[in-house]
Structure 1
Amino acid sequence: MNWLYLGLAIICEVIATSALKASVGFTKLLPTVILAIGYSAAFYFLSLTLRSIPVGVAYAVWSGVGVVLISVVAWLLYGQELDLPAMIGMGLIVAGVIVLNLFSKTVSH
């Protein structure tokens, strides 16, 4: 269940970060409300995650997966270009999260 909470935290954070750009410096009401709710929900679900997943592991997964997802969202919604070095870098982040989860003794399963 804690990994589900972590997944929800990541999804909420990606939604909030996407709304952050759309808020245009907090000048657009709806995106600003979405980002406030999204970040609040993200931190709530992250706090539930930390009941059994070590904070370093949870944050590594959250930030790593979040970087990749927000980059994909930015590409789809905002036309952000993803060149080869960016894709290689994101691949390395994903590889790091996989190694952490499969081989680290600090991860609680």
Structure 2
Amino acid sequence: MPYVLLGLAIIAEITATLSLRASEGLSRLGPTAVVVAGYLISFGLLAKALMSLNVGPVYAIWSALGTVGAFAGGVVFYGEPVRPVTVLGAAIVVAGVVVMTLGGGVGHGR
């Protein structure tokens, strides 16, 4: 169940981050409401997941997949460019999370 919560937290964080651009500097009410709700939901779910998972690797997973998801969403929804160096950066972020997770494990045994 904590992994489901983590997955939902990541989805909420990506949604909130992509809505930041749509909010046009937090000047549009609808997208701004999605930003606020998305981050609140994301942090709430992340907090619940951390009740049984280790904070370091889980935060790394949450932030890395959020970063890659925001990058992919920017490409899909906003037509942002895909450059080799950007793809390399995303791959490095994911590789770092894999190494960190392998080194420290995710569950803390509760």
TM-score, L = length of structure 2: 0.91
Q: What CA deviation, in whole Å up to 9, does each residue of 1:18-60 have, x standing for no partner?
A: 1111111111111011111111100110000110112111111
Separation in 2, partners of 1:16, 1:74 = 12
Match of 1:108 in 2: 107
Structure 1, gaps ≥5 residues long: none
Match of 1:49 in 2: 49
Separation in 1, partners of 2:38, 2:104 = 31
Match of 2:40 in 1: 40
Match of 1:4 in 2: 4
Structure 2, gaps ≥5 residues long: none
Identity %: 38
Determine if contact 2:23/2:31 at 8 Å carries over to the other structure.
Answer: yes
TM-score, L = length of structure 1: 0.91
Match of 2:60 in 1: 60
Q: Secondary structure at the match of 1:53?
A: coil
Determine if contact 1:13/1:38 at 8 Å carries over to the other structure.
Answer: yes
Determine if contact 2:14/2:70 at 8 Å carries over to the other structure.
Answer: yes
Q: How does 1:13-32 map to 2 (within 5 A)?
A: 13-32=13-32
Determine if contact 1:18/1:70 at 8 Å carries over to the other structure.
Answer: yes
Count of aligned residue pairs for this structure pair: 108
